[in-house]
Amino acid sequence: MNGAMAQVSRFHLHRRVVQGVTLLLVILVPALGLFRIDPRAGALVVLDRQIWFADFFLIAGLWVTLLSLLVMLYSVAGTVFCGWVCPQNIFSEWANYMTHLLLGKRAEVSLDGQALVISPAKNRVWNWGLLGLAFLLASMFLGVIPLFYFYDPSTILAFLLWRSDPALASSLHWIYAVFVLIILVDIAVIRHFWCRFACVYRVWQHSFRTRETLHVRYDASRASACEKCNYCVTSCFIDIDPRKTDIYDSCINCGECIDACNRLQAKKGNPGLLSFEFGERKTKQEARIHFRNNAIGLTARTRWMTVVMALGLSFFAWGLWTWEPLHLAAYRAEVQDAANDLDYRIEIANKRYRPERVELSVQGLKPGEYHLSQTLLTIPAAGRLSAILSISPTLSHGVHSFRIQAHALQEDWKDQFAIQHFSEAPKGGTP
């Protein structure tokens, strides 16, 4: 019996597994350094590497690859992201479950505006208190997750323990409190109202749907088997009729209606009337010219997006290959009370999240013609350090070309910065 029930509820069970894995990945991806944002450096972090906007191939390759994957997903599977992956939907469903558990199965936050029908046996202060506490704890948990995309796990731990940390903004606890309040209102009151009426992301997904996109198919030839039955409609938490889906509708391809119909028909020994299907709806086929087929057809679009995705992946791979773990720059130093423009500031930025030792040298000038304030820099993780290069005032008149060279002692990295310095005639000397 349990095996048969699992068979007719396969989409529900599979969807719960996907939702659990999604929530885990949402936390692990930034925590493991695969992708996050560094607010102090104003840079992305990909594979524990600090990515600047100057790293064109990495930035372009990353976004082209992601966008092409999303377009392929939306073209093939429609709004399956909403039904299987979207955090808003995951916690709205959880909120519905907790409401039914503590207030009764008819205590539904209805999309048509009807009031909750609370079970008299469960309409108690204790039940309402437990529901409110569950929503508050969930909101506090969800409010922490976005922090992983801006701070490393050790910084987040300091935030949770109210320990001081220079990486934390002074107002972060207030910002967190506001987010907790917004999330609490969302899962307590809004829930699927957002999915049905306000989600712009779902509208954007609709832009890529075609007649071949995955959709719910209704076997109209067996319509007599579901006369006076609306079990599939009541199982839909988006409040649509799965028997009347179209290319552009609110269906999120969750499969709950299919499981519901299968459960009901299985009692009669029959298969369900609903199923997932690719391809055009047979009742709405229409003649289309060959150009339109190639322009919006699923096969043609997938083919083109595969080419675009391959281009994005090649950009990203080249960006990783040419990415440099440190960045060297030199410019005129603004030294207070300096009589002449004889000082240069050498700045090295560490794009790795581990300390690095860098050795500096100057080529093109004799040892007595310059002075380095430091020749060995220990640069902190994702930090910056600078040294001052002072040119001797006795340097002969004219233009002098020289190079500042930097060499990392741990990373296989070398770089140089070319400078042309114009030296005026030494005071009291001859030009």
Average pLDDT for residues 320-346, to the nearest whole number? 80
pLDDT averaged over every residue in the chain: 84
**What's the pLDDT at 323?**
92
Grade residue 286 by pLDDT with cuts at 50, 70 and 90.
very low
Average pLDDT for residues 192-202, to the nearest whole number? 77
Grade residue 112 by pLDDT with cuts at 50, 70 and 90.
low
**CA–CA gap between residue 149 and residue 45 (Å, rounded):** 9
The model carries a pTM of 0.74
Give the Å distances, CA to CA, from 319 to 89, 324, 422.
36, 9, 37
Long-range residue pairs from 99-108, CB within 8 A, at least 24 positions apart, any chain? 99/131, 102/127, 102/128, 102/130, 102/131, 102/134, 103/127, 103/128, 103/131
Q: 170: burial class by Cβ within 10 Å (0-12, 13-18, 19+)?
A: exposed
339-383, pLDDT tens digit by residue?
Answer: 457 889 999 999 998 999 999 999 999 989 999 999 999 999 889
Of 287-296, 349-358, 421-430, the poorest mean pLDDT is in 287-296
Considering only CA atoms, which of 244, 232, 239 is closest in space to residue 191?
Answer: 239
Residue 248 near residue 113, CB atoms below 8 Å: no
Q: Which two tokens stand for residue 219?
A: 């076997």
Grade residue 204 by pLDDT with cuts at 50, 70 and 90.
confident
Residue 387 near residue 335, CB atoms below 8 Å: no
Q: Which residue has the higher pLDDT, 70 or 292?
A: 70
The domains found in the chain, sorted by start residue, are: 326-423 (2.60.40.10)
Average pLDDT for residues 179-200, to the nearest whole number? 86
DSSP classification of residue 121: G
Grade residue 1 by pLDDT with cuts at 50, 70 and 90.
very low
How many CA atoms lie less than 13 Å away from 317 in the CB half-sphere?
6
Average pLDDT for residues 247-269, to the nearest whole number? 87
Torsion of CA 223, 225, 228, 234, to 10 degrees: -90
Q: 379: burial class by Cβ within 10 Å (0-12, 13-18, 19+)?
A: buried
**CA–CA gap between residue 65 and residue 132 (Å, rounded):** 42
